Structure 1
Amino acid sequence: MFFIISKVAGFFLAPSNALVILTIFGVVVQMLWSFRVGAVVAAAGLVGILACGLGPVANWLILPLENRFEQPASDNAAPDGIIVLGGALSDRVSGERDAGLELTEAGDRILALLRLARTYPQARIVFTGGSSALTGGGRKTEGELVGEAIERFGLSPERVTIESNSRNTAENASFSKEIAKPRADETWWLVTSAFHMPRAVGVFRAAGFPVTAYPVDFRAAPDDWMRPFATVSDGLRRTDVAFREWVGLLAYYWTGRIDTLFPGP
């Protein structure tokens, strides 16, 4: 039920959708009830679209998330294991096209898997990712697609354990723990997008699986606080991503899936 509610609520809470709905509602109010009230509502929606689409609002939202964790220093001890979260490819397009793995904006998670696997040849690797689609998912889950591509990556299938049933971050953590069975003396690195790292680390900690953050897929440069966007679509896309993550933190905290509202190092 949590999965379904989160997907439905996510549609209406996405700023791009909410602002368009608000603008359309204002136009309808203009035509059917009060021109003045409707004009104010529609103007508010348009101002919001422009502020989030062209202004730096998206960066204000995403930079606190991305700056929360740093990658381990190069002189850190080698990890015993590496967890890589899914969300890096389109399972529907990849499965339907049969043309290899079609990466999303978060494709750096796959690149990190390959890079770290070669840098730390003794580390165990777990890739965790099922299908996060409520409807219209692909024929194969993300985990299944990555599992089929492991040998093409030049890695031995025995090195990488695939978990392909999880649908969200909470399930990533619980299913990965079952697979990895981490010991108290082991060090495990967690690879996911930088904006998603606070919630991911919090979920793994709450599941009793302590991990070291290895953030990748940074969307903003450290000094982008006041940087505008060249197109409305770019700004709205980043606003949606960051806002969704803040809502996810609140939802996970309220439902007991993380122990603190904004997990940190």
Structure 2
Amino acid sequence: MDFSLPALLFWLKKLLAALVLPPLLPLLPVIAGLLLLGRRPRLGRVLAWGGVALNLLLTLPASVGWLAKQLEDPRPLSLEASRGAQAIVVLGAGRRDYAPEYGGETLNRLALERVRYGARLARTTGLPLLVSGGGIGDETAEAVLMKSALEEDFGLTVRWAEARSRDTRENALFSAQILREADVRHVLLVTHAMHMPRAQAAFESAGLIVTPAPTGWLADHGAPSEARFLPGQLPNANSAYAGWFAVHEAIGRLVYRLSQ
């Protein structure tokens, strides 16, 4: 295991994130409330029921959909907007460590959503690809896994693989270094619509001109749809995941603003 300071800070950040993200986030006031019932029953009940209410807000499709709309970039990339770009940058999103059918590690479904759209853009525009994402310790860098998927599964060539980054800011800084050496200034940036505003700001701060190429929307930004069958509006795995992603992104943006 890597015990270097950057690695330890990375895992500390992961631990803190786990405490302030669902499913632990709404459980903390519930636990605190139950512990206080004997000494401060009124406060205990308020905290416990508040945690239950927060859990519902972060899992109900209606409330999660509203929150996602506030955070997502609603605009898909148009062909006209892509003109002038010199390269496509695809950001990593995670791995599956146990993938025996692939001989070890592989990309998780979030990363595959980005890779798939990056491949589509590469075929449509003919632009070269850069993939960005590192690893911790002995892990295979995400960029290596992304490059393998694009070349072996999608039949495309990846020109650059940025394999050092641990977060979005490092994605931007290290990718910009590679691209400047190739005289590339304008990129199509591929990431999830929820993550796009934060990623775009990081890449622009690194000195690149960014045209957003979002994918994987979690909210419906079109016209209001017809009323859905009631079970579809009850908490479910998809809405719980979307709620987690939305809180993760909201906290990430807050941290970025405070650290600027």
TM-score by length of 1: 0.80
Match of 1:70 in 2: 75
Measure the CA separation in 1 of the matches of 2:34 and 2:212.
47
Residue 11 to residue 90, structure 1, CA distance change in 2 (3 Å): same
Matched, 1:12 2:15: no
Query: Which letter maps to 2:24?
Result: N
Query: Which letter maps to 2:27?
Result: V
Q: 1:240 aligns with which of 240, 244, 249?
A: 244
Query: Which letter maps to 1:86?
Result: G
Offset at residue 64 of structure 1 (A): 2.1
Gaps of 5+ in 1: 257-265
Gaps of 5+ in 2: 1-5
* Larger relative contact order, structure 1 or 2 (CA cutoff 8 Å, min sep 6): 1
Measure the CA separation in 2 of the matches of 1:99 and 1:25.
41
Offset at residue 96 of structure 1 (A): 8.9
Match of 2:147 in 1: 147
- Deviation track 1:52-80 (CA, whole Å, cap 9, x = no partner) reads 222522222211222x3523322342631
SS in 2 for 1:204: helix
Deviating runs (4+, > 6 A) in structure 1?
182-185, 224-228
Match of 2:256 in 1: 252
SS in 1 for 2:189: strand
Residue 233 to residue 21, structure 1, CA distance change in 2 (3 Å): farther
Measure the CA separation in 1 of the matches of 2:140 and 2:95.
10
Residue 18 to residue 103, structure 1, CA distance change in 2 (3 Å): closer
Residues 90 and 102 in structure 1, CA contact (< 8 A), matched pair in contact too: yes
Offset at residue 10 of structure 1 (A): 1.2
Offset at residue 36 of structure 1 (A): 3.6
Offset at residue 208 of structure 1 (A): 1.0
Residue 156 to residue 240, structure 1, CA distance change in 2 (3 Å): closer
- Deviation track 1:171-228 (CA, whole Å, cap 9, x = no partner) reads 0001101111178885311010000010001011111112111111111111579987
Measure the CA separation in 2 of the matches of 1:55 and 1:90.
27
Residue 184 to residue 142, structure 1, CA distance change in 2 (3 Å): closer
Offset at residue 18 of structure 1 (A): 1.6
Q: 1:27 aligns with which of 34, 43, 49?
A: 34
Residues 204 and 210 in structure 2, CA contact (< 8 A), matched pair in contact too: yes
Question: What are the residue-to-residue correspondences of 1:87-98 with 2, within 5 Å?
Answer: 87=93, 89-94=94-99, 98=103
Residues 93 and 138 in structure 1, CA contact (< 8 A), matched pair in contact too: no
Offset at residue 233 of structure 1 (A): 4.1
Query: Which letter maps to 1:115?
Result: R
- Deviation track 1:30-59 (CA, whole Å, cap 9, x = no partner) reads 2x4233432222111112212222252222
Query: Which letter maps to 1:111?
Result: R
Match of 1:162 in 2: 161
Residues 191 and 215 in structure 1, CA contact (< 8 A), matched pair in contact too: yes
Residue 197 to residue 95, structure 1, CA distance change in 2 (3 Å): farther
Match of 1:119 in 2: 124
Measure the CA separation in 2 of the matches of 1:248 and 1:38.
30
Query: Which letter maps to 1:64?
Result: Q
Matched, 1:54 2:60: yes
Measure the CA separation in 2 of the matches of 1:35 and 1:104.
44
Match of 1:209 in 2: 208
What is the CA RMSD across the aligned residues, in angstroms?
A: 3.0
Equivalent pairs counted in the alignment come to 247
Measure the CA separation in 2 of the matches of 1:37 and 1:64.
32
Residues 26 and 41 in structure 1, CA contact (< 8 A), matched pair in contact too: yes
